[in-house]
Amino acid sequence: MNKLLFTFIVLFFLNNCSFNENSSLWSEKKQNLEIKNTKNISDDIAEVKKELNENLKLDLAGIKIKNKIDINKNNYSSQKFGGQLNKISNYKFSKWDKKNNFNFKPVFLKDGIIFFDKKGSIIKYNSNQKVLWKKNYYSKAEKKLNPKMHFYSNNENLFIFDNIAKYYSLNLKSGELNWSKNNIYPFNSEAKIYKDKIFVVDYENTLRCYKIKDGSEVWSLKTDKSFTISQSKHSLIIVDNSVVFSNSIGDITSVNIDTGLIQWQVPTQNTKVKNESYNLKFSKLISDGDSIFFSTNKNEFYSIEAKTGTINWINKINSNVMPVIIGNLIITISNEGYFYLLERKNGKIIRATNLFESFKEKQKEQIYPIGFVVGDKNLYLTNSDGDMMMISLETGRIIKVIDVARSIVSEPFIFNNNLYVVRNGSIVQYN
């Protein structure tokens, strides 16, 4: 009964709730509890509220397209896609009743896509948008809660974590159920698979380690929780033999992957912000193997040493979209619509261009970035108004804007030289 009550409360909150102007740049380079302090934070790093070096051109000759994404580090870099955003197909599903967010990613396969509908049915499509199988493992009472799912795959099995505290595994080819379990609390993070284990964080800020084989718990680690339910989805990455994750009060914690013991913890927010953590939003954590990068909607962009938790630098950038590492650069978009290029080593801003410059003041107050991906030569950004922008990496300027939907959409995804966006009722494919 307590679990069902907590689930209803969660669902209620979630649904309401110095370069010359003409110069060019590129260089490619390889990539017990302790509270850590900062080191080498540049004194000259300051908040940028206007364009900076806006005429600087990026030399694209140095960009190396990654053939393989490092999913466990959230390191996507630039991917193979040079399309002009021509719509070529739709993968349709029944519309969700609540459209508070579209923070869901399909499973992309060589021969199709896997996604879910409003009643919790999991659907496998082939590349021609035809349904190969459709499975539903929810009871009538669970279906009424409109479960929202996050998918993860190891090429043989599909793992599902939802917002009503259920997690289960299916055979990827047939859709048949391998096993099904329930957690005490709903899940509120991305998950990562490592060898024979899978890791995820729930609404109680507890990191849980499960066996892939049968879903049994290996170990769990509880961290401090907030007084309110967070709007933000927590992030989790795996670096070497450590699981690093964020929680609702702004702590970044590194845990030994085998024992579940804390190796270091970095609190990023003061006591006042922690007490108001309902409004705190983090970007996903990303890593180049040496450092961990992330930003918040509290005007902070961090670089932290992966092994020790020591803070390398902090910059004043207000963003909760996932940044991207490309060689010696970091790319991000602020909540105000500024496209930033930063130096990876010291966090200094190289260029800032205003993507929302043509918007009226009322539009600027209502529109915010959802997420972006980087292709061969362009960046593709979706916004909360349902539009997608194609932006030149070289100049930082908008090339094209298309209307994906009349309301909020997902971040864009690149797979097999195509781009996909989830909107209510369909997954749209572009080339």
CATH for the stretch 2-50+96-363: 2.130.10.10
Q: Are strands 251-256 and 398-403 parallel, antiparallel or unpaired?
A: unpaired
Q: In 3-state terms, what secondary structure has residue 318? A: coil
Could you give the residue ranges of the DSSP H alpha helices within 51-93? none
> What are the distances in angstroms from CA 380 to CA 274, 334, 411?
33, 14, 9
Please state whether beta strands 291-296 and 300-305 pair in parallel, antiparallel, or not at all (unpaired): antiparallel
Say what the pTM is.
0.88
Q: Which pLDDT belongs to residue 84?
A: 93
Interval 200-232: pLDDT, tens: 999 999 999 999 999 999 999 999 876 666 667
* Higher pLDDT among residues 111 and 180, named by residue: 180
* DSSP one-letter code for 38: B
Sketch the domain layout of the chain as residue ranges: 2-50+96-363
Residue 31 CB partners (closer than 8 Å, separation 6+): 75, 288, 289, 290, 325
Neighbours of 187 (CB within 10 A): 25
- Is the pLDDT at 278 greater than 80? The verdict is no
Q: Which of 37-46, 75-84, 264-273 has the lowest mean pLDDT?
A: 37-46
pLDDT surpasses 70 at 28: no
- Rounded CA gap, 254 and 224, in Å? 14
Q: Per-residue pLDDT for 155 more than 70?
A: yes
Percent of the chain whose pLDDT exceeds 90: 74
